[in-house]
């Protein structure tokens, strides 16, 4: 489980205001002004401690990245990893993905990453899963590009495939064992832990077909 609390997390988040976006509603439709360029913007929802998005930002300076994590005690650990070496193409938001439509204008995001999202295993909590219909509806508004989804949870993956299919998303790439491919894969902290145990990593890349 993620460590959800850290000492003085809120104060530490505020202190990193150069990296952190404290009120993302101020930038709806204006994120390119914040980055000061017209490069595409990639969004990771549930970024955890930040290994994945930080590495992406370092490798791809011509792409802008926004990481969202609802637990301040977790996101501050990503801030601590960067210390003073903050990539100019990366900003972080401490907040809940239910607010996406308040933060982003239609088509403002080019790609969305969902990595090792909370599976919410109980049926009565299905609406909280980040691949549930209400979330997919938000994604297709803010992004006209692709979603990449990774998990080690087979039940969540199967639920997500059904949800994507039922809501008119097209599968571009799908595997039940991502690390069997001979590719340079940027991983998350959880991915490293799970794959080291021999657990398969499930992956799908998808795009909305259109109405």
Q: How far apart are CA 8 and CA 14, in angstroms?
A: 10
What is the CA 129 to chain-centroid distance, rounded?
13
Please give, one letter per residue, the 3-state secondary structure of the chain. Answer: CCCCCCCCHHHHHHHCCCCECCCHHHHCCCHHHHHCCCCCEEEEECCCCCHHHHHHHHHCCCCEEEEEECCHHHHHHHHHHHCCCCCCCEEEEECCHHHHHHHCCCCCEEEEEEECCCCCCCHHHHHHCCCCHHHHHHHHHHEEEEEEEEECCHHHHHHHHHHHHHCCEEEEEEECCHHHCCCCCCCCHHHHHHHHCCCCCEEEEEEECCC
130 and 100 Cβ atoms separated by less than 8 Å: no
* Residue in the block written with tokens 């990193």: 16
Active site residue 118: yes
Q: Which one from 23, 80, 118, 177 is the annotated catalytic residue?
A: 118
* Active centre residues (catalytic): 118
């Amino acid at each position: 489980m993620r460590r959800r609390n850290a000492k003085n997390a809120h104060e530490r988040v505020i202190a990193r205001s150069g990296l952190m976006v404290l009120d993302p509603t101020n930038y709806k439709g204006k994120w390119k002004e914040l980055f000061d360029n017209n490069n595409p913007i990639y969004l990771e929802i549930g970024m955890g401690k930040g290994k994945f998005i930080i590495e992406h930002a370092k490798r791809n300076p011509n792409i802008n990245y926004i990481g969202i994590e609802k637990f301040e005690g977790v996101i501050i650990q990503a801030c601590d990893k960067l210390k003073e070496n903050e990539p100019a193409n990366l900003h972080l938001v401490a907040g809940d993905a239910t607010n996406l439509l308040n933060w982003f204008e239609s088509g403002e995001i080019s790609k969305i990453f969902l990595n090792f999202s909370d599976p919410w295993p109980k049926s009565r909590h299905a609406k909280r899963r980040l691949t549930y219909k209400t979330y997919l509806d938000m994604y297709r508004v803010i992004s006209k590009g692709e979603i990449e989804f990774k998990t080690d949870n087979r039940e969540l993956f199967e639920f997500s495939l059904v949800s994507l299919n039922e809501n008119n998303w097209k599968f571009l790439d799908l595997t039940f064992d991502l690390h069997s491919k001979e590719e340079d894969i940027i991983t998350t902290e959880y991915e490293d832990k799970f794959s080291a145990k021999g657990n398969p990593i499930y992956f799908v890349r998808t795009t909305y077909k259109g109405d």
